[in-house]
């Protein structure tokens, strides 16, 4: 049976060029800073985002948590969107590791604005925890891959600068955001002090994320990465795939976005509930309740026909397009969805 895996872009496999680069990678002990492939990837990551330095991370979660640890002190307050990955999906790490208190703000489409953030910034008052960090998620995963426009980022950056608060961007899908906004990672990155982005998702590398920022920030982050057990040795074999991800795989993301828009339109035509304006990148979230379908059964029926997708909340399904999914695969999924919608 044909199977098409829409569960996540994390299911992408390393490309033949990555396998080749991994095989040939020069490596060394990176805790001694002696792995040339890791150093090259870190420099490339810094260059592509216009930052001073980069740090290779085993995962996006560690990248975000190390960033929060590095930006804050225990007892600080951190502003993030109500369904932000750093708050929702990182096992409460910001509380247990950094000892900070999250201040969540629910925002339409997951996109915070300066106007939404300003009232949540704490006053200089002995009763209140200091606000020291704003986390922005770009693209926003649970909101359906929505992204920040540059003017909104510029306003938030202006506010943060005035109030002396740092900005960390969870840019797990930063290059999807840049593609959708027809801009560059560097133009987006200028509005954040630090950014985490994944090479393991739509960019197809097997493992890894990069944290980028100022050199002194990255020097301190390197110590926290070591503390959490993320000091790796001959991980240049992984970094080599990351270099291929950043040099060969960014330009094709537009294809995933085209497939997601095409899929979303067909889903709307079948009568499912979907807000097409949230489908800006490679994530499609839709609601089965307008068709009075039972969600668990619906997802089982999809899977039984080889269309792998994840249930998302009480009545929704999430489908993610990526390098392993062709237009023909999307057409197949649409035929299955249309059959189940009837």
Ligand X SMILES: *Cc1c(COP(=O)(O)O)cnc(C)c1O
Query: Restricting to residues 273-292, which ones interact with ligand X according to CB under 6 A?
Result: none
Under the binding rule (CB under 6 A), the answer on residue 104 touching ligand X is: no
Under the binding rule (CB under 6 A), the answer on residue 222 touching ligand X is: no
Whose CA is closest to 26, among 39, 17, 14?
A: 39
**Residue 194 or 337: which CB sits closer to ligand X?**
194
* R_g of the chain, CA atoms, integer Å: 20
Q: Count H helices and E strands in the chain, helices first.
A: 14, 12
Determine contact, residues 66/133, Cβ cutoff 8 Å: no
Question: In this chain, which residue has its C-beta nearest to ligand X?
Answer: 60
Coil, strand or helix at 136 = strand
Whose CA is closest to 145, among 291, 322, 272?
A: 322
Binding residues with ligand X: total (CB under 6 A): 12
Please identify, among the stretches 55-63, 247-255, 260-268, 307-315, the one whose residues bind ligand X according to the rule CB under 6 A: 55-63
Q: How far is the CB of 63 from ligand X (least distance, A)?
A: 8
Please identify, among the stretches 53-61, 214-222, 238-246, 322-330, the one whose residues bind ligand X according to the rule CB under 6 A: 53-61
Among 5, 76, 137, 280, which residue sits at the site for ligand X (rule: CB under 6 A)?
A: 137
Among 112, 198, 241, 309, which residue sits at the site for ligand X (rule: CB under 6 A)?
A: 198
**Residue 44 or 147: which CB sits closer to ligand X?**
147
Buried b (16+ CB within 10 A) or exposed e, 78-92: bbbbebbbbbbebee
3-class SS shares of the chain: helix, strand, coil, % to 5: 45, 15, 35
Among 6, 38, 51, 85, which residue sits at the site for ligand X (rule: CB under 6 A)?
A: 85
Please identify, among the stretches 56-64, 70-78, 179-187, 307-315, the one whose residues bind ligand X according to the rule CB under 6 A: 56-64
Determine contact, residues 111/143, Cβ cutoff 8 Å: yes
Rounded distance between C-alpha atoms, residue 90 and residue 209, angstroms: 15
Under the binding rule (CB under 6 A), the answer on residue 170 touching ligand X is: yes
| Interacting residues toward ligand X by CB under 6 A | 59-61, 64, 85, 137, 141, 170, 172, 198, 200, 209
């Amino acid at each position: 049976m044909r199977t098409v895996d829409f569960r996540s872009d994390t299911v992408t496999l390393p490309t033949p060029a990555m396998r080749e680069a991994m095989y040939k990678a020069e490596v060394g002990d990176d805790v001694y800073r002696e792995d040339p492939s890791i150093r090259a990837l870190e420099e490339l990551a810094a260059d592509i985002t216009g930052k001073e330095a980069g740090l290779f991370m085993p995962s996006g979660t560690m990248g975000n948590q190390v960033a929060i640890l590095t930006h804050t002190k225990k007892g600080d307050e951190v502003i993030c969107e109500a369904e932000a990955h750093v708050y929702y999906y990182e096992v409460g790490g910001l509380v247990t590791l950094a000892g900070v208190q999250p201040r969540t703000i629910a925002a339409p489409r997951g996109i915070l604005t300066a106007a939404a953030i300003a009232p949540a910034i704490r006053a200089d008052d002995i009763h209140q925890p200091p606000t020291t960090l704003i986390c922005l998620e770009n693209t926003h995963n649970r909101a359906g891959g929505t992204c920040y426009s540059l003017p909104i980022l510029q306003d938030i950056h202006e506010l943060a600068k005035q109030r002396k608060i740092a900005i960390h961007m969870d840019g797990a899908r930063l290059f999807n955001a840049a593609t959708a906004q027809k801009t560059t990672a560097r133009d987006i990155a200028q509005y954040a002090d630090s950014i985490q982005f994944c090479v393991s998702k739509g960019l197809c590398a097997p493992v890894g994320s990069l944290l980028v920022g100022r050199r002194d920030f990255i020097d301190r982050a390197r110590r926290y990465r070591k503390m959490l057990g993320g000091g790796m040795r001959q991980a240049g074999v992984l970094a080599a795939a990351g270099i291929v991800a950043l040099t060969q795989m960014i330009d094709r993301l537009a294809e995933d976005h085209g497939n997601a828009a095409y899929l979303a339109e067909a889903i709307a035509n079948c009568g499912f509930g979907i807000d097409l304006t949230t489908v800006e990148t490679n994530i499609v979230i839709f609601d089965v309740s307008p068709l009075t379908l039972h969600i668990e059964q619906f997802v089982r029926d999809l899977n039984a026909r080889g269309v792998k997708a994840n249930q998302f909340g009480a009545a929704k399904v999430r489908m993610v397009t990526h390098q392993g999914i062709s237009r023909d695969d999307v057409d197949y999924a649409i035929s299955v969805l249309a059959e189940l919608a009837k």
